[in-house]
Amino acid sequence: MKGKTQVLIFLPLFLTGCQPAPKMPEASVPVTEPEAKPQTEQSAAEIQEIAVTDIAGLKIGQYENEKAGTGLTVFISEEGMPAGIDVRGGGPASRESQMLNPLMTVQEINAVVLSGGSAFGLGAADGVMKYLEEHDIGFDTGAAKVPLVVQADIYDLTVGSADVRPDAEMGYEAARRAFEEPNYRDGNYGAGCGASVGKIAGMDTAMKTGIGSYAVQIGDLQVGAVVVVNALGDIYDWKTGEQVAGLLNPEKTGLRSTMEYMKGSTEVVENKFTGNTTLAVIITNAEFDKAQLCKIAGMGHDGMARSINPVHTSADGDTIYAVSTGNVEADQDLVGALGAEVLSEAILNAVKNADSAYGYPSASSLALTGE
């Protein structure tokens, strides 16, 4: 009707007495759980042992003076290679180590030299530089190409002749062999010629060791190590804990513990430099820069600690280099952990492949290697 207003009133259901329509049951929809992906583990068959010389991009040459009981081992990259270093021993003899500091300008080097002769042997790098310069290899400064060579030495003056040490002539020959006659071998060769261990009681109860290597491949990744075993302490199998070399008993028929010997007296020993220092190079075809390789070298010392006791003493110059020779993508921590493992195996090979020499028995001559 005209002039009247209609009002609509909405009341809650509970006031009207009406009930809501019953809720219809939902159709059950079967839920399909996603299939769990099987967990895969790296099988032993996928980890292959290779020769350290199978790692591309690196040339290795050795030269030794067997009569004098000293020598050197040279690792050369024609194109240049990023490298890192980690020094844990208290008495290193080295050359150009600061160049591998990540803060330094140079990003790649041309060679690593491991040598005998203590600080006297550092001149061997001059011969390596000469050979590389003759072959137009080095950092181009504009005026000349300067080969960038780093070096670390063991103390082997008490083994053979203290008057004969690796020099420039020997360094040149080792570099030449690396290019023309690659001759790497485990045992009493190169820098391992005068290596020995177990020297806390003097050289009379020391043992002969040498240089050793070990390498593995997983897919395209390759990781290897070369080590010169010249420790003050004893050598252990890192998997079993068995002592395999080190301080001889007074009868020289078996082993005794360097640590137990040291616990016999708390008196200060003024001069432990009877011939120490373990040196190593970890080699990988994975691509890393200098800072990453310094970390990998540091992780490599875990391998030394598993295999040598005591290690990193004030009388050792324990030094590890890590070098990258390729462009394979790989996890840095995996390579560092593998580096420690192959280093431990390389230490064992340095012991197993050494021969008795200069009056010092080897593990094989005492039947201590389990072979």
Q: Mean pLDDT check: name the lowest of 30-39, 181-190, 261-270.
A: 30-39
pLDDT band with cut points at 50, 70 and 90 for residue 12 = very low
pLDDT band with cut points at 50, 70 and 90 for residue 8 = very low
Residue 38 pLDDT > 90: no
Nearest Cα to Cα of residue 343 among 277, 253, 283 = 283
DSSP state of 103: T
Residue 370 pLDDT > 50: no
Dihedral angle computed from the Cα positions of residues 206, 272, 95 and 236, in that order, rounded to the nearest 10 degrees: 40
Residue 210 pLDDT > 90: yes
The pLDDT, as a whole number, for residue 89 is 79
Decide if 131 contacts 175 (C-beta within 8 A).
Answer: yes
pLDDT band with cut points at 50, 70 and 90 for residue 190 = very high
The pLDDT, as a whole number, for residue 318 is 87
β 221-228/279-286 pair status = antiparallel
Q: For the whole model, what pTM was predicted?
A: 0.86
Q: Can you list the positions of beta strands (E) in the chain?
A: 47-50, 59-65, 70-81, 83-87, 93-95, 109-115, 139-140, 145-146, 149-153, 196-197, 207-208, 211-218, 221-228, 234-236, 243-245, 279-286, 308-309, 319-328
Side chain identity at residue 78, one-letter code: E
Separation between Cα atoms, residue 133 and residue 114, nearest integer Å: 20
The pLDDT, as a whole number, for residue 11 is 42
Separation between Cα atoms, residue 258 and residue 342, nearest integer Å: 24
Residue 112 pLDDT > 60: yes
Percent of the chain past pLDDT 70, that is, above it, reads 85
The pLDDT, as a whole number, for residue 161 is 92
Decide if 296 contacts 335 (C-beta within 8 A).
Answer: yes
The pLDDT, as a whole number, for residue 314 is 76
Which residues is 87 bridged to in the sheet? 319
Residue 179 pLDDT > 50: yes
Instruction: Tell me the pLDDT tens digit for each residue of 258-313.
Output: 999 988 888 776 655 555 789 999 999 999 999 999 999 999 999 999 999 988 88
Instruction: Tell me the pLDDT tens digit for each residue of 152-177.
Output: 999 999 998 999 999 999 999 999 99
How close are the terminal C-alpha atoms of the chain, in Å?
A: 118
Separation between Cα atoms, residue 297 and residue 340, nearest integer Å: 9
**Residue carrying structure tokens 């010249």:** 230
Mean pLDDT of the chain: 88
The 10 Å CB-count burial string (b at 16+, else e) for 100-139 is beeeeebebbbbbbbbbbbebbbbbbbbbbbbbeeeebbb
Instruction: Tell me the pLDDT tens digit for each residue of 45-90.
Output: 489 999 999 999 999 999 999 999 999 999 999 999 999 999 987 7
Percent of the chain past pLDDT 90, that is, above it, reads 76
Per the structure block, which two tokens stand in for 90? 């208290």
The pLDDT, as a whole number, for residue 13 is 41
